[in-house]
Amino acid sequence: MQYETRARSIFKALSWRTWATITTAVIVFAFTGRFALALTVGALEVVAKMALYFFHERLWQKIRWGKKEVPAFVLWFTGLPASGKKAVADRVYQLLKDRGLKVERLDSRDVRPLFPETGFSPPEVNRHVKRSGHLCAMLEKNGVSVVASFVSPYRESREFARRMAATFVEVHMRSTPEACMKRDSKGHYARAQRGEFKYFPGVDVAYEQPRQPEIVIDVEQTPAERAAEQVLDYLKKHVLVEGRRLKKSLPAAEVSFDEP
């Protein structure tokens, strides 16, 4: 998705105003043959239209008719460690910010310091994910959309996060432990296989795949940039709908590199 920078918008506005003023001055000169009058009318037109635009915009800012707010939502990325959740979530977060949405980015590494005593056993991970889901739901309730990325390997806590949110979009970064191990630049899988980490999803505990996620991304077939665009396309079609509050049950989308 492309967006226009502020500098480009300002330059376009100045360019348009300059050409409009020159056109007015040329028309006045063509009809009167008086150069000084043409310049005076052109200058007056600039001042008059700037003032008119200012008051026109201020007036419309006070009129509530036609204003519809895009509802907040929770976008939840889940998948095995090293499945690319953070990379895609970061890109989607930036694309949403560029659209002017109020959005917050939450990653497991950001949230864990809030609960420093939380371990990694299945019950502790479930509690941690439930707390994170509650935090996302509170932000959503206050009009802030959330892009969250958690391994969240257990269905119980993911379903809790879904129930807490008004609009919940689950993105499953589908991959295999073997493929994730190859992408694991930090060596976490190797350390887990040596017994340095306990309860590591994909090694000594199973990752419970989502049953009905809204979006499934085939990690091996889809580059991060492409995946982020596909997620944003889904949001624009099903979630970023002005004046419409969606139900929790959203249509599913399969995402792969071969999609048009």
In this structure, how many other beta carbons lie within 10 angstroms of the beta carbon of residue 210?
21
Question: What one-character DSSP code corresponds to residue 158?
Answer: H
* C-alpha distances in Å from residue 123, one per residue of 118, 119, 128, 153, 233: 10, 9, 9, 11, 35
* C-alpha distances in Å from residue 73, one per residue of 129, 141, 151, 211, 238: 17, 9, 19, 20, 11
**Catalytic, out of 152, 157, 185, 256:** 152
Residue 152 known to be catalytic: yes
Residue 224's φ and ψ, nearest 5 degrees, are -60, -40
In three-state secondary structure terms, 48 is helix
Residues recognised as catalytic: 152
